Every structure is written in structure tokens, then in C-alpha cells.
Structure 1
Amino acid sequence: MHSELRLRILSGIVLAVVVLLATWLGGLAFRLLASAIALLVYYEWSTIIRLPETDFRANAFGWLSVVLVAALVLFGFDELALPALIGATLIGIAYAFALKGSGWLAGGIVYSGLTAISLAAIRGDTAHGFAAMLFIFAVVWATDILAYFVGRAVGGPKLAPPISPGKTWSGAIGGAISAVVAGTLVHMIFFPLNGLWVPAIALVLSVFSQIGDLFESFIKRRFGVKDSSRLIPGHGGVMDRVDGLVFACFAAFLIALGDAIVSGTVNTPAGVFLFGP
């Protein structure tokens, strides 16, 4: 086996074990994982857009904002994390307009901070949260794997040639179908299947996962980088590995938040809204 492939497989196994163990444990362990991912994502984002070189003050504010949100998530102050993120984002937008700074600052704050918030909110501290995270993992991983193999086997029209020339419509459709199957099967392990809500949400999350993949490809192409970093041996950076996952979690979190606001039960964990029986 080629040494690079061996390294990629080994690091992939280690990552999967760490993520699944933290998901199983929940609580502080998963919050620590969510916070760490958010901080690493901001590091890579700011590096890709060259913010430390072009605007030191903006980058310092970005770090302060993401560290604050990550700390609130880590120590369980969920009710403060989202308002803090919104406030920091608005300041970042105002800074960009007032001082002609980089609009990418606010984007990095949202992308990083919402990563920690959505992951922690979905997992929560309940059995529903554990099932919800496994559901999302199944959807995202099935989307990634089958989109790659179906796309290579079938080929056909390109999905978004200017952004990611290798992706095809056949791969996107194949990935979405496999995500619906995988997500539904995982849900059925924990709860009985009632109606089409679970397949529908699996399809939505698969679409958002693929949008997340394209979004990161757009950013890297925009700034002329191949990988978001070299933090993960054989894989590139953290953003390279979690781009689809974080967008799927964004969608799941916002759906659950909207449901909670409409129903007037904002204290109910996100996992219950999305994947409860």
C-alpha cells in the first residue's frame, strides 16, 4: 500500500474514533470537540483569506469573537452563545462597511461560531441527541462516499464546473439517494419510522452537505489554495473534512430553532425536534 494512502487511512480511522467516542460520551467531551472544531475552522478560514497579513485588528477581533462563542458552548451557556455570535457578526459587518475592511471577517465568525453552536445544540445531553448526531453522520458520510463513486462510475454533466470541476449531477443525485437510505436506516435503529419526515430531512441535509462542500471549494478557489491547511496528515485541513458536516448541522439546527420558535418551546433540545419519535 502506498505510504500516502496508508497515512490517509490511519488518520481517517483515528479521526472517526475520536469523533464517535466524543459523540457517545456527550456532555463536556462533545462540547470540547465542537469548540475545538470551531477554533480550528476559524484558524484555517483566516489563513485562507490571509487576514493575519492584511488586517491584524480584524483578525484579532475575529479570534476574540470565536473564542468567546466556543467558551460559552464549552461551559454550557447555550442561551448566550447565539446572541454573542449575532452581535460579533454585526460588529464585523459594520467594521467592513465603516473601515473598508474585509467582508470575509464576518463570514468567518459566522461559519466558525455556528459550527460550535449547532453541533453542541444537536447533540445536547439526551439519547435523542446521540441518535440525531449519528443520523447526520450517516447522511453526510453516505453523501460523500456515494457521490464520489457514482460520479466516477456514471459521469455525465458537471454540477458546478467553475467551482469544483470533478463533481457531477449523477454523483450529487447518487449521494442524495444513498443519504436518504442511510439516514432512514439509522433512524429506524432508534425509533419507529412514521411518515416521510425522516427521509425528507435526510434529503434536505444531504443537499446542504453538498452545498457546504461546494462552498469550501469556492473559497479555496477564490483565494488560490489547494487545502485549507495541513493539520490532518493525508487529508489536508479540518475544513476539508467537515465542510459538508457543518452545513448539514447548520440546516438541522436552524430547522429545529425555527420549529422551537413557532411551537413556543425553545428549551426543547434540537435532537428531539428533528429526530424524536
Structure 2
Amino acid sequence: MSTELRLRIISGIILAIVTLGATWLGGIAFRALAGLICVLIYYEWSNMTRLAEKDYRGFAFGWLASAAVALNLVAGDQGLGVPLVGGFTLTALLITWVRKGTGWLPSGILYSGLSGISLAAIRDGDQPGLVAMLYVFAIVWATDILAYFVGRRIGGPKLAPRISPGKTWSGAIGGTMSGVIAGCAVSLAHFPGLSIRTVVLAFVLSVASQAGDLFESFIKRRFGVKDSSHLIPGHGGVMDRVDGLVFACFAAFLLAILHAAWSTGGGTSVAAYVFGL
């Protein structure tokens, strides 16, 4: 076994223990993890897009914004999260317009902020929140793993050759099918029966996770970088590991908000929306 592979395995095990441990504990442990992910995503985003070189004051404002969002996550005030990210993003847009800066500043604040908020909102603090988070994990991980193996085995037409030459339509379809199966399995393991919404949402989240992977590939290709950073030995950066996960969380979180806004009854949490509680 090569040194690089050994390092990758060890890092992967540590990441899995930390992530699953915080997910199991929930509460402040998971909110702290979500806040850390928020800050690290902004760090990697700003490095990849070279924000400091283009607009140092805007870059510093982005750090202020991501730190404030992360601290709010740890404090547990979920109601303030979206307005906080929205306010910082609009302010960054104004700064960009006045100073003729780069649009990568407000987009970085929005992306990193929503990453942390959606993760924390899905896990919440109760048992359904734990199941909802495991449901999303299962979909994203099954999609990622099976898309890789099916794509290598079957091959065929490329999914997005200009963005990620290695991805194929066969891999995308195989990954989506496995993601739906994994999500349904988690749901059936904890709740009686299976609603159409849970099945359809598993499909949507699987597609969203692949879109997140392509989105990060686009950014890296746009700026000519191989990895988002070198924070995780053998794995690259945090964005390299959570690109699909955060897009899936975005989708679940935003759909739950829309459902709560338009529905006359039912729960307002993401778990309540996913499982029809």
C-alpha cells in the first residue's frame, strides 16, 4: 500500500468518525460542525477565486460574514440564519457594484452561508432530524460511489465533457438509481411505509448532488486548480468532499421552506417535509 493511499484511508476514517459522531450527537456538536464547514468553504472559495488579490476589503468582509453566520449556527438561532446570509449577500452585492469588484464575493458568501444553514436545519435536534440527515447522507454517498463504478464499467456518452470529462450519462443514471434506493432504505428502516414524496425527493436530491459536483468542477476548471485546498490529507479540500452534499442539502432545505410557506398544515421542519410527518 502506497503512503498516499494509506494517508487517504486514515483521513477518510477520521472524517467519517467526526461527521457521523457529530450527526449522532446533534445539538451544538452538529451545529459547530456546520459552522466550521461554512467558514472553511468560504476560505477555499476565496482562495480558488483569488478574492484577496481582486478586492482585499471585500475579501475581509466575506470573512466577517461567514464568521457571523457560523457563530449564529453555534448559538442555535435558526430563524436568523437566512436573513443573516441574505443581508450579508445583498451588502456584498452593493460593495461589488460600488467598488466594481467581483461577483465571486457575494456568491461565495451565499454558497458558504447556505451550506452551513441547510446542514443545521436538516439535522435539527430531534430523532426525525437525525433520520433526515442520514437519509441525505445515504443518497449522496450512494450516488457518488455508484456513479463512479457504473461510469467506469459501462462508459458511454459524456455527461458534461467541458466541465468534467470523466463523468458519463451511464454513471449519472446508475448513481441516481442507487441514491433513490439508499434513501428509501433509510426511510423504511425508521418509518412505516414509504410516501411518494420521499421517493421523488430522493431522486431530486441525487440529481442535486451530481449538480453540486459539476458546479465545483466548473469553478476549479475556471480558475485552473486541481483541489479546492489541501486541508484534508489525501483528499484535497472540504469543498471537494461536500460539494454534492451541500447541493442536496440546499434542495431539501429550500423545498421544505416552500412547502411550509404554501401549505396550510403539517410540520415546518425539513424532516417533517421529507417524511410527511
RMSD of Structure 2 on Structure 1 (CA)? 1.3
Hey, what does 2:44 align to over in structure 1?
44
Alignment of 1:1-277 (within 5 A): 1-263=1-263, 268-277=268-277
User: Which is worse superposed, 162-171 or 257-266?
Assistant: 257-266
Once the two structures are overlaid, the 10-residue window that deviates more, 238-247 or 63-72, is 63-72
Runs of 4+, deviation exceeding 4 Å: 264-267
| Aligned-residue offset at 1:5 | 1.1
Q: Give, in whole Å, the separation in 2 of the partners of 1:153 and 1:260.
A: 42
For residue 41 of structure 1, give the secondary structure of its aligned residue in structure 2: helix
SS at match of 2:243: helix
Query: Number of matched residues?
Result: 277
Q: What is the distance in 1 between the residues matched to 2:23 and 2:87?
A: 29
Compute the TM-score of the two structures, normalised by the length of structure 2: 0.97
Equivalent residue letter for 2:106 = A
Any unmatched runs of 5+ in structure 1?
Answer: none
CA distance in 1, matches of 2:137, 2:219: 24
Matched residue SS, 1:159: strand
In 1, are the aligned partners of 2:266 and 2:272 still within 8 Å (CA)?
Answer: no
What TM-score comes out, normalization by structure 1 length?
Answer: 0.97
Distance in 2 separating the partners of 1:171 and 1:5 = 24
What is the DSSP-based 3-state SS (H/G/I as helix, E as strand, rest coil) of the residue aligned with 2:165? strand
Does the aligned pair in 2 maintain the 1:139–1:180 contact within 8 Å? yes
Give the Cα separation in 2 of the matches to 1:2 and 1:176.
32
Offset at 1:98? 2.2
In structure 2, relative to structure 1, the CA distance for the partners of 1:64 and 1:201 (3 Å cut) is same
How far did residue 276 of structure 1 move? Answer: 4.5
Contact 1:128 1:276 (C-alpha < 8 Å) held by counterparts = no
Kindly provide the CA deviation profile for residues 188-219 of structure 1, in whole angstroms up to 9, marking residues without a partner as x.
11102233221211000000000000000000
Separation of aligned partners in 1, 2:20 and 2:77: 23
Q: Which letter maps to 1:220? A: K
Q: How far 1:54 moved relative to its partner?
A: 2.0
* Residues 195, 268 of structure 1: alpha-carbon distance in 2 compared, 3 angstrom cutoff: closer
Residues 256 and 268 of structure 2 are in contact (CA less than 8 Å); yes or no, is this contact kept in structure 1? no
CA 1:12 to 1:37, structure 2 compared with 1: closer, same or farther past 3 Å?
Answer: same
Letter in 2 for 1:156: G
**Alpha-carbon distance in 2 for matches of 1:252, 1:64:** 27
Superposed displacement of residue 267, structure 1: 7.5
Q: Does the 8 Å CA contact 1:257/1:266 hold for their aligned counterparts?
A: no
The aligned amino acid for 2:260 is A
Aligned-partner SS, 2:221 = helix
* 8 Å Cα contact 1:131-1:275 kept in structure 2: no
Secondary structure of the 1:220 match is helix
Query: Which amino acid in structure 2 is aligned with residue 261 of structure 1?
Result: A
Shift of 1:269: 2.1
Identity rate, percent: 61
Q: List gaps (5 residues or longer) in structure 2.
A: none
**Secondary structure at the residue paired with 1:142?**
helix
